[in-house]
Chain A
Amino acid sequence: MIRTKINCRKFSDSELILKSIEDLNFFSCIYMRYEKKLKNYIKKISGFDDEEIEDILQNSFIKVWRNINSFDHSMKLSSFIYRIVHNETISYWRKANAKSQNELSYVLNSNKEQNSEYKDKTPKINHIKKVLDLLPIKYKEVLILKFLENLDYQEISDILKIPEGTVATRINRAKKAFKKIADEKNLLEKLINK
């Protein structure tokens, strides 16, 4: 396989999209630029293991490639990719959920134990994840996108395909639900105090 070496850093996201259509090798630059961020995102939202995450990412990037001509240059490339990855993760999660509710919770729980990256870096992060896992998916996803991925309202709106006003409302409700669950599980104190 002959592959020219490309200095990916030289190109902006928009340039990479345009160049990818002409030369597939530029597409790998897009993958490399977002791989780590997206893997973390999938892990936070689903708790899947590394193998499943690779599968989701692979399927998502093939979808990105198929739909590359639909990319709207007034939007951020990250929002475009996050949207596809998000939808792929949720659909994967739902399929797994439909297979067996019990099996999934077993897998998720065992993953959390086995997965080194999911293991406590600090007890506080572990508590946050515990509470996040207990939230409905619509609250969990906005909290992760806002506070763990540090995205702004417009980006979240583009990823989830909901109005910015709804993003704000959902974040507020998610924060309240988070506090309530943390309080019920006696984790609120631990999260406030270091």
Chain B
Amino acid sequence: MNNKDKIIEIIKNQNIKPKPKWYFAFKNISVWLFYIFFMLIGAISFSVILFSIQQTDFELLSHLGHSKLELFLSVLPFIWLILLIIFILGSLFAIYNSKRGYKFTFSKLIAINVGLSIIFGTIFFVGGGAAWFENAFAIRTGFYESIQKRKQKIWQNPQKGNLAGIINKVENNGLEIIDFENKKWIINIDSTFIANPVLLEKDEKIKIIGSKINDSVFKAKEIYPWGGKEMRNKRRNKRRNKNK
């Protein structure tokens, strides 16, 4: 028996059937779904990194004598950076295993994946998704401290000249604020620089650079908005009122 007949015999005798079309279609769809999943999580990780950078007051905190690099490393969310790398590698693996993935060079695949993570991550960040996601992640996982919490810790340091909180009362040349540890402070705002768009209104969240006078009085040198969602909403409302 020649080899050709032998092959046909084996196929018939062992009843070898071709794998069905749906099996290959399912495999192909799964690979793409994995790719989309990995790429989106990578994009979310990138958006949280952007959020973390945005929330770091490099210019304001440098008065503490820390270098920008030191500050950056202290607030850089390594967990998100590691997640970004893992998910970019995952998406690379998925696309390489797609039907025509081998047609792309490794450098092209990296450029495409990093590019897409940056684009979708930036869109997610601009849409406010990063802040929401990061906060939700911190609530659901016990080990992770949110960026806001870390920022609050940095600004809850009156000894070193940093204080932040919510305005409780506005008086002629002073404010009363409640800090993140629920402690009341009288803020002296004589000859204080007040940055735009701080309105000095009740319930406004602010951060202050200055010096501690005593246990309940703080002399403000500069006042800035807390930043983030509240600040964006305030800017939006200001713009709306102007247009009216």
Q: Which residues of A are in contact with B by a Cβ distance under 8 Å?
A: 21, 24-25, 27-28, 31-32, 35, 54, 57-58, 61-62, 65-70, 72, 157, 161-166
Q: Which residues of B are in contact with A by a Cβ distance under 8 Å?
A: 3-8, 10-12, 16-21, 23-24, 99, 102-105, 108
Q: In the complex, which residues of chain A have a beta carbon less than 8 angstroms from the beta carbon of B17? A: 66
Q: Contacting A66 at CB < 8 Å: which of B5, B12, B16, B102?
A: B16
Least CB distance, A38 to chain B, in whole angstroms = 11
Q: Is the CB of A66 within 8 A of B7?
A: no
Q: Which residue of B has the minimal Cβ distance to A68?
A: B18
Given contacts A21-B18, A35-B3, contact A27 B8 (CB under 8 A): yes
Interface of A is mostly: helix
Extra contacts besides A65-B16, A65-B18, A163-B108 (5): CB < 8 Å:
A54-B3, A66-B18, A66-B19, A162-B102, A166-B105
Q: Is the CB of A69 within 8 A of B3?
A: no
Least CB distance, A168 to chain B, in whole angstroms = 11
Q: In the complex, which residues of chain B have a beta carbon less than 8 angstroms from the beta carbon of A69? A: 18-21, 23-24
Q: Contacting B99 at CB < 8 Å: which of A58, A65, A72?
A: A72
Cα separation A58 to B5 with both chains bound (whole Å)? 10
Given contacts A163-B104, A163-B105, contact A65 B11 (CB under 8 A): yes
Given contacts A69-B24, A166-B105, contact A24 B8 (CB under 8 A): yes
Q: Which residue of A has the minimal Cβ distance to B105?
A: A163
- List the 4 closest pairs (A to B, CB-CB), nearest first: A161-B102, A70-B24, A68-B18, A69-B21
Least CB distance, A1 to chain B, in whole angstroms = 8
Q: In the complex, which residues of chain A have a beta carbon less than 8 angstroms from the beta carbon of B11? A: 24, 27, 62, 65
Q: Is the CB of B4 within 8 A of A31?
A: yes
Given contacts A57-B3, A163-B104, contact A28 B16 (CB under 8 A): no
Interchain Cβ contacts under 8 Å between A and B, 14 examples: A24-B12, A27-B8, A28-B4, A28-B8, A31-B3, A35-B3, A54-B3, A62-B11, A65-B18, A68-B18, A69-B21, A69-B24, A157-B102, A163-B108
Cα separation A67 to B20 with both chains bound (whole Å)? 9
Given contacts A69-B24, A157-B102, A163-B104, contact A62 B3 (CB under 8 A): no
Q: Is the CB of A62 within 8 A of B16?
A: yes
Cα separation A138 to B118 with both chains bound (whole Å)? 36
Q: Is the CB of A58 within 8 A of B3?
A: yes
